[in-house]
């Protein structure tokens, strides 16, 4: 990933570039982002820039062997760490990120802006949060013993350090404070208040802002999609299960997986708006003239959050080619039950 591939965040890129060009790269950095703001993408672009053999115009070349390895998340000196647990794809008693790297790589290459939930779904551990264990920390320490393979910088890029427990943080502490030469820790957090203070205090912080919303918001949905969601939610609110199931069947009949995914994206965006209106935060709900007061009166925050996570799961199942009728019928059933 090159800086040029990053959406928005021009000032953060400028700051990272200045550090690299000026030879003032901190040995530990904490990038604080909101979900889907691109913290991980920035960390990768920064690592790629620092190890590029032929940087040009303040960006990595994207073509040298180091850039190519980095673009495939297969650079021998860049180690990724993320939360896991003993269930799902990786399994085993003491799983470490290295074992889940295939899943992580696939997800990142598909969408570098993936969320924690996306990761858990891919790992098959969505029922239980992941964590970064002491076994993981020991594995990281073992990577630091050897000097870099390529002669460039060595990176530990940790996604969601807030999932690291105290034992793991203590194991890493010394290394984060005084890493071996040319070793850089990049932590990408969404909840800096939950990261062990001992780690935070040893890092230089950098705020990654949600990029320009116009880049984030998908193109406006077709009238058809907007109407289908309106019908589905109305049926659920009116406690009309039959009509809700009919609306699910209509979504399943949309004809393409892409349309079904845009339906999910739209539904989830609408529920976020309802949630914000319900919390009195209409100002940041980007309503654009829409009135969601009635929906916000009926749908609790709890319902909205659950519904969003069910819809995200439905979208994931659709991407995996699960039968659409099954996915959407199951979805309306879940929404119907959780509104009670
Ligand atoms: Zn390069």
The neighbourhood of ligand 1, an ion, using CB within 5 A, equals: 52, 60-61, 64, 67
Cα of 49 vs centre of ligand 1, distance in Å, is 7
Q: Is the pTM of this model over 0.75?
A: no
The beta-strand segments (E) located in the chain are: 28-32, 78-81, 154-159, 183-189, 204-207
Q: Outline which parts of the chain fall under CATH 3.40.50.300.
A: 3-213
List pLDDT tens digits, range 86-143: 888 787 889 999 999 999 999 999 999 998 988 998 998 877 779 999 999 999 999 9
Cα 5 to ligand 1 centre (Å):
14
Res 200: pLDDT: 85
Q: Any bridge partners for residue 154, and if so which?
A: 183
Q: Mind giving me the DSSP string for 59-76?
A: B--S-SHHHHHHHTT--T
Is the pLDDT assigned to residue 33 strictly greater than 50? yes
The answer, yes or no, to whether residue 14 has pLDDT greater than 70, is yes
Confidence band (pLDDT; 50, 70, 90) for 43? very high
In the predicted structure, residue 241 carries a pLDDT above the cut 50? yes
Which residue, 51, 79, 80, 47, is CA-closest to 65?
51
For residues 187-199, average pLDDT? 85
**Per-residue pLDDT at 219 exceeds 70:** no
Q: Which pLDDT band holds residue 74 (cuts at 50, 70, 90)?
A: very high
Highest mean pLDDT among 115-129, 167-181, 206-220: 167-181
CATH number listed for the domain at residues 3-213: 3.40.50.300
Flag whether pLDDT at 270 surpasses 70.
yes
Q: How far is the CA of 59 from the centre of ligand 1 (A)?
A: 9
pLDDT at 215: 45
Quick one: what percent of the chain has pLDDT higher than 90? 66
């Amino acid at each position: 990933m090159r800086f040029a591939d990053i959406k928005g965040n021009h000032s953060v890129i400028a700051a990272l570039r200045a550090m690299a060009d000026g030879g003032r790269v901190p040995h530990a950095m904490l990038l604080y982002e909101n979900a889907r703001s691109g913290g991980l993408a920035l960390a990768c672009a920064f690592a790629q820039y620092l190890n590029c053999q032929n940087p040009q115009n303040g960006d990595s070349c994207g073509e040298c062997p180091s850039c190519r390895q980095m673009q495939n998340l297969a650079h021998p000196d860049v180690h990724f760490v993320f939360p896991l647990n003993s269930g799902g794809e990786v399994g085993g008693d003491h799983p470490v990120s290295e074992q889940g790297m295939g899943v992580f790589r696939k997800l990142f290459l598909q969408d570098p802006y993936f969320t924690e939930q996306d990761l858990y779904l891919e790992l098959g551990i969505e029922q239980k949060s992941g964590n970064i264990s002491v076994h993981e920390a020991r594995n990281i320490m073992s990577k630091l013993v050897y000097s870099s393979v390529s002669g460039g910088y060595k990176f530990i890029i940790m996604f969601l350090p807030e999932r690291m427990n105290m034992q793991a943080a203590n194991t890493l502490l010394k290394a984060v404070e005084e890493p071996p030469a040319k070793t850089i820790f990049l932590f990408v957090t969404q909840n800096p208040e939950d990261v062990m203070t001992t780690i935070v205090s040893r890092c230089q912080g950098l705020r990654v802002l949600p990029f320009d919303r116009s880049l984030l918001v998908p193109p406006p949905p077709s009238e058809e999609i907007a109407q289908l969601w309106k019908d589905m939610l109305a049926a659920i609110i009116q406690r009309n299960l039959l009509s809700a199931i009919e609306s699910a069947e209509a979504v399943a009949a949309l004809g393409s997986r892409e349309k079904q995914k845009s339906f999910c994206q739209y539904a989830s965006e609408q529920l976020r708006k309802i949630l914000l209106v319900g919390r009195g935060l209409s100002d940041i709900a980007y309503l654009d003239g829409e009135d969601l007061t009635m929906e916000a009166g009926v749908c609790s925050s709890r319902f909205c959050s659950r519904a969003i996570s069910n819809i995200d799961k439905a979208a994931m199942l659709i991407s995996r080619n699960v039968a659409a009728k099954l996915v959407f019928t199951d979805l309306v059933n879940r929404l119907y039950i959780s509104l009670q």
